[in-house]
Amino acid sequence: MSTFNIPQRVNEPIKNYIKGSIERSEVEETYHSMFNSKIDIPLFIGNDKILTSKRQNISPPHEIKKIVGTFSLSEPDHIEKAIESCLNVKESWTNTPWEERAAIFLKAAELIAGPYRSKINAATMIGQSKNIFQAEIDAACEFIDFLKFNIIYMSEIYDEQPITVGKVSNKLEYRPLEGFVYAITPFNFTAIGGNLCASPALMGNTVLWKPSDHQVYSAKVIMDIFEEAGLPKGVINMVTGDPEMITKVALENSNLSGVHFTGSTFVFKKLWESIGKNINLYKDYPRIVGETGGKDFIISHPSADTDIVSTAIIRGGFEFQGQKCSAASRIYLPKSKSDEIIKKLQEQIKDIKMGSPIDFENFMTAVIHKKSFEKIVNYIKNAQNDKNVEIICGGNYDNSKGYFISPTLILTSDPNYTTMKEEIFGPVVTIYIYEDKMWKETLDLIDKTSQYALTGAVISSNQESIDFALKKLRYSAGNFYINDKPSGAVVGQQPFGGSRASGTNDKAGSKLNLLRWVSPRLIKENFNPPKDYPYPHMN
Ligand code: NAD
């Protein structure tokens, strides 16, 4: 027997992919070879990899006529089998010493950092249209960090024990949940896909994982990595296909013990509702963790530096085409500075390059799919037809080759205009100009405008204004940024999540999240039990 040294608390360094670097040529080569071949992605159920007869094509959002592969569409039977597989391996996985579970996921992290780095990045570039920087910070760095930091958090959780006094020993056994965990993940982060199934598994649970149809390409790489790292078959079962059917079968199973969701608010509320309706079916009260939508704000104080504000808006609003839950999408500018900031934004945005992620000069690429393209275009058209708002930048779109939408700025005099309230999930940022003297009222407005409370930023060089905003906006954002963009949370540094309609705020990348996947058992052992019932006061 031995002890286990947990990983260091260090974030994975971001590679910069400059011209001539080894990492750049590796990822370019891998991209081209994956782009020019075809892959058929099976269901991963226990020991089996099942290619179904019904499949769906995978096309890069930036080149929609190209087919890079297919993924399998499951039938209800497959989902039942996948749940059975979770339950079959449950006992042996639960009994696997925690150091061994940790070692498997640590190996997975090292495989991503080394031999699989260019593959998981290229898959994310092709399947989700991330440029290399966005792929690197997600699929490589954030995923590695999730895996490594979660091992640290797991050991901290196990370490938290009740006191042992005199002849009595007390111990908390952090049991995994009794049934299976259902992980449902979004398209926009490869790392979220990997983390939402890996974190419950690390804590000893077995998992049914349903990735998004639009992340399946990199999800397959994740399953290959887990397999090579030695994860026993059946601990994570990956199924793809009709989300409603898969979810119905999973939520109607009496062994459902947890749901680990990231995605839209609408879908999460539907899941919660179904779980509520099925509550008498379950053996457990299922743990429900959901990180959902956002309508993330930036407010600039009159004292703010114009360059800091414009950079935060451009990076925060348009990186990955505005498809981050944390993307800045409603902006509050003071009247005294608004002309200067808007001018700067217009100058900079017109130089933004957009196109395929394999052209490394591109800051932006395509949005994820047809439905999303149409939804975003609809917001743009409505703004073009509304005389109360003005499109001051962009507003162009073209889906002849891929789903391209230019970075768009809308100016509104109505703080409650639709695009100030609703999550668009695209490169559309709306600006509202406030009177300088209305700082406090504008903070109130921010708090009350939208149902979401995910991220937000205050940019100011006046400390008093920052302190005041922090108090006024206490519940307006789960991740609050001062003099920075509201996106780009790093594991171990900025645990991520929001409240209100933005989710259960269980902070992915922190101990709080892992605590949801255990059900502690207290074990008291009396070394010298009493042998008669009367107490001393009775004599
Ligand atoms: P989505 O809600 O469309 O899909 C998320 C997952 O749910 C996918 O696997 C999808 O197939 C599945 N799904 C869709 N409809 C379903 C249904 N009717 N029943 C069961 N499952 C269903 O979200 P998306 O477009 O993939 O991702 C974007 C959304 O995710 C945005 O709202 C964004 O804000 C949110 N998001 C939030 C966070 C966060 O940490 N708060 C992080 C990333 C993304």
Distance from the alpha carbon of residue 504 to the mean position of ligand 1, in angstroms? 14
pLDDT 10s digits, 223-275: 999 999 999 999 999 999 999 999 999 999 999 999 999 999 999 999 999 99
| Ligand 1 pocket, mutate which of 128, 185, 188, 320 (most atoms under 8 A from CB) | 188
Cβ(241) to ligand 1 under 6 A?
no
Give the sign of the dihedral formed by CA 332, CA 371, CA 120, CA 229. Answer: positive
| Ligand 1 pocket, mutate which of 134, 187, 266 (most atoms under 8 A from CB) | 187
Tens place of pLDDT per residue across the chain (539 aa): 677 788 899 999 999 999 999 999 999 999 999 999 999 999 999 999 999 999 999 999 999 999 999 999 999 999 999 999 999 999 999 999 999 999 999 999 999 999 999 999 999 999 999 999 999 999 999 999 999 999 999 999 999 999 999 999 999 999 999 999 999 999 999 999 999 999 999 999 999 999 999 999 999 999 999 999 999 999 999 999 999 999 999 999 999 999 999 999 999 999 999 999 999 999 999 999 999 999 999 999 999 999 999 999 999 999 999 999 999 999 999 999 999 999 999 999 999 999 999 999 999 999 999 999 999 999 999 999 999 899 999 999 999 999 999 999 999 999 999 999 999 999 999 999 999 999 999 999 999 999 999 999 999 999 999 999 999 999 999 999 999 999 999 999 999 999 999 999 999 999 999 999 999 999 999 999 999 999 999 98
Separation CA 177–CA 258 (nearest Å)? 8
Nearest CA to ligand 1 atom 22: 243
Separation CA 112–CA 189 (nearest Å)? 15
Q: Does domain 296-482 have CATH number 3.10.580.10?
A: no
Residues whose CB is less than 8 angstroms from the CB of residue 16 and which lie 6 or more positions away in sequence, other chains included: none
Separation CA 21–CA 228 (nearest Å)? 27
For the whole model, what pTM was predicted? 0.98
Amino acid residing at 392: I
Amino acid residing at 283: K
Residues whose CB is less than 8 angstroms from the CB of residue 470 and which lie 6 or more positions away in sequence, other chains included: 458, 480
Cβ(182) to ligand 1 under 6 A?
no
pLDDT 10s digits, 159-206: 999 999 999 999 999 999 999 999 999 999 999 999 999 999 999 999
Separation CA 375–CA 395 (nearest Å)? 13
Show which residues are catalytic. Answer: 291, 325
Separation CA 65–CA 62 (nearest Å)? 9
Q: E strand or H helix at 398, and its extent?
A: strand 397-398
Pairing relation of β-strands 69-72 and 55-58?
A: antiparallel
H helices of 455-533, in order, are 463-472, 511-515
Residues of the chain by 3-state class (helix, strand, coil), percent to 5: 40, 20, 40
Q: Does domain 22-292+503-523 have CATH number 3.40.1130.10?
A: no
Distance from the alpha carbon of residue 2 to the mean position of ligand 1, in angstroms? 42
Separation CA 167–CA 316 (nearest Å)? 58
Q: E strand or H helix at 128, and its extent?
A: helix 117-128
Residue ranges per structural domain of the chain: 22-292+503-523, 296-482
Q: Which has the closest alpha carbon to 334: 472, 468, 465?
A: 465
The reported pLDDT for the residue numbered 141 is: 98
